[in-house]
Amino acid sequence: MKVNEIAFSCYPVTDMARSKAFYEGVLGLKVTMDHEMEGGHWVEFDIGAGTLAIGIAPGMDPSPDGCSVALEVDDFEAAVAELKAAEVEFNFGPIETPVCHMAFVRDPDGNSIGIHKRKEGHS
């Protein structure tokens, strides 16, 4: 098997309307696909070459201990200020490392989402 890229990352959610309000309203993402199906609901947000999805399906349960996605932002300080103004829960950071600035917040279901900004010269 040869893997070419990550097709998408997905967070399980319990309330699609509440979750869409967070991902669209707080994070500013644009819905690129919204599909309701028997027993589930799937919404995608295309970000650059990747896709972040949120979904409701049997066996998909949100977890604060699951994998997380880090979103690269243009202005880290402004992003942190917007999240704090929206009273989003921070569970880590903000911190500075030799290569980046980052913080992790929680979505309404407790899933961990990174906010990230690479420093100049690091890709």
Q: Torsions phi, psi of 64, nearest 5? A: -70, -10
Provide the number of structural domains found in the chain.
1
The two three-digit tokens of residue 37, written as one number: 């199906």
From the number of C-beta atoms within 10 Å of its C-beta (0-12, 13-18, 19+), residue 103 rates as: buried
40 falls within a domain: yes
- The helix/strand/coil state of 108 is coil
Q: Please, which pLDDT band fits residue 1 given cuts at 50, 70 and 90?
A: confident
Q: CA nearest 113: which of 74, 66, 76?
A: 66
The CATH code of the domain that includes 35 is 3.10.180.10
Residues 55-70: pLDDT tens digits? 999 999 999 888 899 9
Domain that holds residue 90: 9-118
123 falls within a domain: no
3 falls within a domain: no
Residues 13-42: pLDDT tens digits? 999 999 999 999 999 999 999 999 999 999
